[in-house]
Structure 1
Amino acid sequence: MKEYVIDANNMDEKELNRTIKEQAVFHDKLIIDNPDSRHNICAGLTEDVSIEINGSVGYFVGTMVNEPKIHIKGNAGWFAGDNMTEGELIIEGTAGDGAGQGIYGGTVIVKGSTGSRTGEIMKGGTVIIGGNSGFMTGLLMMGGRLIILGDVTDDVGESIMRGTIYVLGDVKSLGKNAAMEKATLDDQKELKEILTEYGFEIADEDYVNFKKIVTIQ
């Protein structure tokens, strides 16, 4: 595997992203040191490349990407993975509002908690949150699968049109057009497969506790 290390220290956002795109053509893996919470890292990246970011990042990490696998060993700001079409974004820490906003495909994973409007207007793909999520989670959701392992606050699934939200913890309230039911055995099997794949450890007997939130028929 061809690796390349990028030291982001003293680089502005434009220089950093230009370097990422140039080196992604020639390498299988890029390692980014000293990201220092810069915004828009990996924006618009379309190479099938592995990106390891050693530290926290700012807004719009992985926005509008197609194919890369991005692993952040820290926290992220608002709108992580915004409008991803294909690929993978894993955040080891927490993320701000709008994680997974508008994604068409791929997978966005936040191991910790997120702010509000997680999975807002997502059209496809999968978003997994290992902790809690804030208000209007799944706002205007049009497709895909949103999985929350912790609690969710107010107005979950507000104006949801399609797609499914699964919550293992407590749901404070549902939004307009949202209905809650129990996860089926098929749902539980599907959840176990993907959660096990990404290293989430949940006891077999707990899968029955998942709530399933969908649009009112």
Structure 2
Amino acid sequence: MEEVIIDAQGKTPREVNQILKISCKDKDKFIIKNPNAMHYIAAGLTEPVDVEIDGSAGYFAGTMIHGARIHINGNAGWFPGDNMTEGEVIVDGSAGDGVGQGIYGGTVVIRRDAGSRTGEIMKNGTIIIGGNSGFMTGLFMMGGRIIILGDISDDAGESIIRGVIYIKGAIKSLGKNAKVKEINDADKKELEELLPQYGFNLEREEYADFKKIVPLSKRPFYGKESEEG
């Protein structure tokens, strides 16, 4: 794997991303130094390359990627992994609002806490939050899975349509069309197989602490209220 170091100091997001997009045609590993919380880092990458951001990133890190694997050694601002279709965005620290907003596939991992509206309008894919997640997590969620190892704040699963939110900690309150269910053996097996892949090594008995939020109704905005999901 040939490694390329990009010094972002003094460069604009456009310049950094242009270097990435041109170089990723024949290189497959990039380290971005001095990111200084730059917005839009690694936006729109469509090659299966590895990008390490050596520091914190700003808004929309890894937005609209397809296949790239992005590792942020610090924190991230709002909307990391926004609208990605395939690949990974891993943040070693915390992240702001809208983690994984609108994703169609791939995996977003925040090792610490996330802000509000995690997974808003996501269609598929996986989001893992190692700490707590803020209000309206799963807002208008249409598919995929969100896994919260800490607590989840107000209005969890607000207007959820499809998908599932797994929570290990406490649920402050539920949003409209959200209900809590116990996890089953298949859910537990899924979590046991997935979480260690991203360095979350729980004791076997800890998986029993998880519960899940799912849609109350398949037709939350019309139809019969009794038509449950």
Partner of 2:35: 35
2: distance between equivalents of 1:47 and 1:7?
A: 21
Residue matched to 2:115: 115
Letter of the 2:100 partner, please give it. Answer: G
* Backbone CA RMSD of aligned residues: 0.5
Give distance in 2, aligned partners of 1:208 and 1:68: 34
1:68-99 CA-partner distances (Å, limit 9, x unpaired): 00000000000000000000010000000000
Give the SS at the match of 1:190.
helix
User: Following superposition of structure 1 onto structure 2, how do residues 1-217 of structure 1 map, counting pairs within 5 Å?
Assistant: 1-216=1-216, 217=228
Cα displacement (A) at 1:206: 1.0
1:125-158 CA-to-partner distances (Å, cap 9, x unmatched) read 0000000000000000000000000001100000
Matches of 1:192 and 1:84, distance apart in 2: 25
Count of residue pairs brought into register by the alignment: 217
CA displacement, residues 100-119 of structure 1 (integer Å, 9 cap, x when unaligned): 00000000000010000000
TM superposition shift of 1:175: 0.3
1:37-58: CA deviation from partner (whole Å, max 9, x where unpaired)? 0000011110110001100000
Name the stretch that deviates more: 89-98 or 23-32: 23-32
Q: CA deviation at 1:13?
A: 1.0
Q: Distance in 1 between matches of 2:55 and 2:132?
A: 22
- SS state of the match for residue 205, structure 2? helix
TM-score with structure 2 setting the length: 0.94
Q: Which residue in the other structure is 2:224 paired with?
A: none
For 1:197 and 1:17, locate their aligned partners in 2 and report how far apart those are by CA, in whole Å.
Answer: 29
Q: 2 CA distance for matches of 1:13 and 1:104?
A: 24
Between the aligned partners of 2:94 and 2:41, the Cα distance in structure 1 is 17
- Higher mean alpha-carbon deviation, 124-133 vs 19-28, is at 19-28
**Partner letter of residue 112 of structure 2?**
G
Per-residue CA deviation, residues 20-51 of structure 1 (Å, 9 max, x unaligned), is 11111111101110000000001111011000
Deviation at 1:15, TM superposition (A): 0.6
Query: Unpaired segments of 5 or more residues in structure 2?
Result: 217-227
What is the alpha-carbon distance in structure 2 between the residues aligned to residue 201 and residue 174 of structure 1? 28
Taking every aligned residue pair, what percent have the same amino acid on both sides? 60
The whole-number CA distance in structure 2 between the counterparts of 1:62 and 1:28 is 16
Q: How many angstroms apart in 1 are the aligned matches of 2:55 and 2:138?
A: 28
Q: Which secondary structure does the structure 1 equivalent of 2:21 belong to?
A: helix
Structure 1 runs not aligned, ≥5 long: none
